[in-house]
Amino acid sequence: MATDNADVFRRIQPHEYFRRFIEQNVRPDGRQLHKFRKTTLNVGAISTANGSAMVRIGGTTVICGIKAEVAEPKISTPDEGFLDPAHVQAHSSYATQHAYISVPNVELSPICSPKFRSGPPSEQAQVASEFLNKIIKISKVLSLTDLCIEPSKAVWVLYADVLCLSYDGNVLDASLLALVSALLDPGIMSLPYPMANRAPSVSNSFPPLVQLPKVTYSEGIVRALADEPVTRLTLYRIPVSTTLSLLAKRLLSDPSDAEESLADEQVTVTIDERGRLCHIWKVGGGSNTATPDVLKECIQRARARYGDVKGMVERAFKERRVVFVASVGDETEMDT
């Protein structure tokens, strides 16, 4: 009955249980400390969405579906859409004429884990939504000019709903990857794209990828032209996040649910395709281990992770479009 004893030990002394594994440089699920769980990406599975992607990281499954609709900009800011005032100031050159709205929301419904109840979103879901919102808006992943239909009359709204179907930790990484992949997805309106063979017009931008029906605006009505080629959305950066947990004074990549709930501190590093940092988020403290060297190690692991994710995204979009055109490895900007 050795397994039963281990099980009892894990439940009564979870910290000690994990510590003994980590001392041997291995985790209870058999992974080494720096290893990530098996990650898979599937794009374009949902035909009712304008773009969709499903990401699995180990036992965590999230689906992002994007619905594009048309709305009027706010009356007080007719040309500026729904961005935060601070943000509009920071990027006024983009925001003066046109605007788009993107509404990312993360849904941690009771289907994914016994931790969550039905009803309004939990705090964790709200935090995850805000995390995505910040990265998309402040890191300038999308250009504000691209999704304006008619200045001060009509703009696109992208409703990006990230739905967690199975929760086993590291939901931020999965959500961001699903959101970005869904934005890249050609979706149902896919038409022959000339983009694969064309060099990008702006050296540091990506070819336009996301489909939106081509629309015309007249007399207050936005009409979609079903036969016309679709308008495509340009992603200027492709951010990918990497979450690490500090547990028993060691750094664990891609924590599972059990590891997340025991961890002293957690770091989420988001970088783009050129290795530039988009966002760093560290929570927790008191374990006296998160030194600057440890944080540098986090960034290095995030870079290594980016290479793996990039390969996966390329495979998922294979023969559909070129995702990564800018050369990766402009490392000088962020040399540690």
Q: Is 226 in the site for other proteins (CB under 8 A)?
A: yes
Interface with other proteins: number of residues (CB under 8 A):
61
Contact characters 129-148, other proteins, x per CB under 8 A:
xx--x---------------
CA angle 295, 301, 303 (to 5 degrees): 110
d(CA 44, CA 51) in angstroms, rounded, equals: 6
Q: Are 120 and 105 in contact (CB under 8 A)?
A: no
Options 192-200, 225-233, 287-295, 326-334: segment touching other proteins (CB under 8 A): 225-233
- For other proteins, which residue of 77, 105, 124, 152 counts as binding (CB under 8 A)? 105
Token pair listed for 205: 């931008």
Q: Which of 25, 89, 110, 329 binds other proteins (CB under 8 A)?
A: 110
Based on the number of CB atoms within 10 Å of its own CB, is 120 exposed (0-12), middle (13-18) or buried (19 or more)? exposed
- Binding positions for other proteins, 247-266, rule CB under 8 A: 257-258, 261
38 binds other proteins (CB under 8 A): no
Residue 244 sits at the vertex; the CA angle it makes with 241 and 247, to the nearest 5 degrees, is 165
Question: Judged by CB, which is closer to other proteins: 161, or 272?
Answer: 161
Residue pair 127/85 in contact by the 8 Å Cβ criterion: no
C-alpha distance from residue 65 to each of 185, 187, 232, 258 (Å): 10, 10, 17, 28
104 binds other proteins (CB under 8 A): yes
- Other Cβ atoms closer than 10 A to 74: 16
CA distance linking residue 94 with residue 97, whole number of Å = 7
| Cβ atoms 121, 108 nearer than 8 A | yes
Residue 77: count other Cβ atoms within 10 Å of its Cβ: 15
The yes or no reply on residue 66 touching other proteins (CB under 8 A) is yes
Tell me whether residue 186 or residue 275 sits nearer to other proteins (CB atom).
186
Q: How far apart are CA 172 and CA 178, in angstroms?
A: 10
Q: How far is the CB of 239 from other proteins (least distance, A)?
A: 17
Identify which range of 69-77, 246-254, 293-301, 302-310 contacts other proteins by CB under 8 A.
69-77
Member of 222, 230, 278, 309 binding other proteins (CB under 8 A): 222
Whichever of 79 and 330 has its CB closer to other proteins, that residue is: 79
- Residues near other proteins (CB under 8 A): 7, 10-11, 45-49, 52, 59, 61, 63, 65-72, 74, 82, 101, 103-105, 107, 109-115, 118, 120-121, 126, 129-130, 133, 157, 159, 161, 163, 165-168, 213, 215, 221-227, 257-258, 261
